[in-house]
Structure 1
Amino acid sequence: MSKLRRTAIIASALLSLQPLAFADQSVDIDGTLNKVTIIGSSNTSAKGLLNEADTNIGVVSSTTIRGRTNQTVIVGNNATIASSWLTDANTDIGTIRNSTLNGTTNQTVIVGNNLTRARSIGADAKTKIGTIENSTINGRFDQTIVVGNVVTDARHWFKSATTCIGTIRGQNMGSGGQAVGVGNVSTRTKSGRAFGISTGSIGAKSRSTHIASNGC
């Protein structure tokens, strides 16, 4: 056996023993549903990565957005296009669970990092949002927003908000029987005084309840 042939065989064997530098589980790149992608490096730029992936993404763990480490983004719906979400959000995101960007109902969104600008996320995401907890608007943190109705278009809410918001529970912007509570007296919206200032209403037969909370 020639020396060159021997070297080629050894090199091939060594390469076959190399561990994978990046492990994916059930990766979905071509739009197949019910797949999961896990990215676990603290150096991962989720924005740059997901910006390229115009497809459905299951789970992304321990990622970094805009250089911040120890952040987590979890997108759990097979109809979610995480690319359009994270591309529009110029901020750090804590956690997103079971979110929907294409109108699927009964989903939940949780944003939990104190640098998160829920206003910009809501303004850019043209979709229905279930729940947002411990979010931040305009740099204020330790606030809580809960939007609990499947017909709520959070985009209209966050686009109007110019200050931090305390709590919204059971919001219904379409049909009745829901309660709305906003816990900050300095809250302002385009739609007027229904939020946080008085007990107005938002949709047909909708009930609104003012809940006093911590201020900004």
Structure 2
Amino acid sequence: MNTPNLTSPEAYNAEIIANAVKFTASLFLGRGEYATIEATSREEIDQLAEMLSTEHPTVKSKPVITAIDAAGNQAIVSGQPAKAPKAPKAENPAKEKPAKAPKAAAAPAAEKALGKRAQIAADAEAGIIPAKPDFSAPTHARFRKKLDEIAALVEKADIKALKAYPINPVSSSPKAMDKYRNLAVIALEAQRKAAKAAAKAEEASATGAAQ
């Protein structure tokens, strides 16, 4: 599997998005349920993401758009609609108070408020495989082999073997492996559930067409 540019998270994501062969839009419906749809272009997935929001008006969150390259690497493109809503114009500019100005920037700030850990967990629930932990430091040396074994199971999407893999999280290295394994299981299960739902929908569509 090819690894994109790792000089920075931004470069990594930008390279995956630039070389994406498909995009997915996943909308969290609640209680582990997602509405997921695929497209081969950014323009098409933006339109389909808006369609998902329209079809589920009671869902307050926005579809998570993910880019996937030919090697299967994934990057979050957007968790917001393609076009941000415009701030309403004041009827009387003279009464507009400067204190109201920061409200325009509140939307992106709220999105960042999730925090890194919460975002990683949300990505896993959306079916996005977490990044393999960096065990290049000498303190992780004796655990690298086990990490590679776990990563191999993740790549094979062997959920059963991942759950059974023995990890005793008593120090930083095993704790990192355990977190990686657990998030990968969540992501793989979400992918499997989405695939089954898509197959079921396709089968229903084919049956309806035949009738």
TM-score normalized by structure 2? 0.24
Structure whose alpha-carbon radius of gyration is higher? 1
- More RCO (CA 8 Å, sep 6+): 2
Give the strand-richer structure, 1 or 2: 2
Give the helix-richer structure, 1 or 2: 2
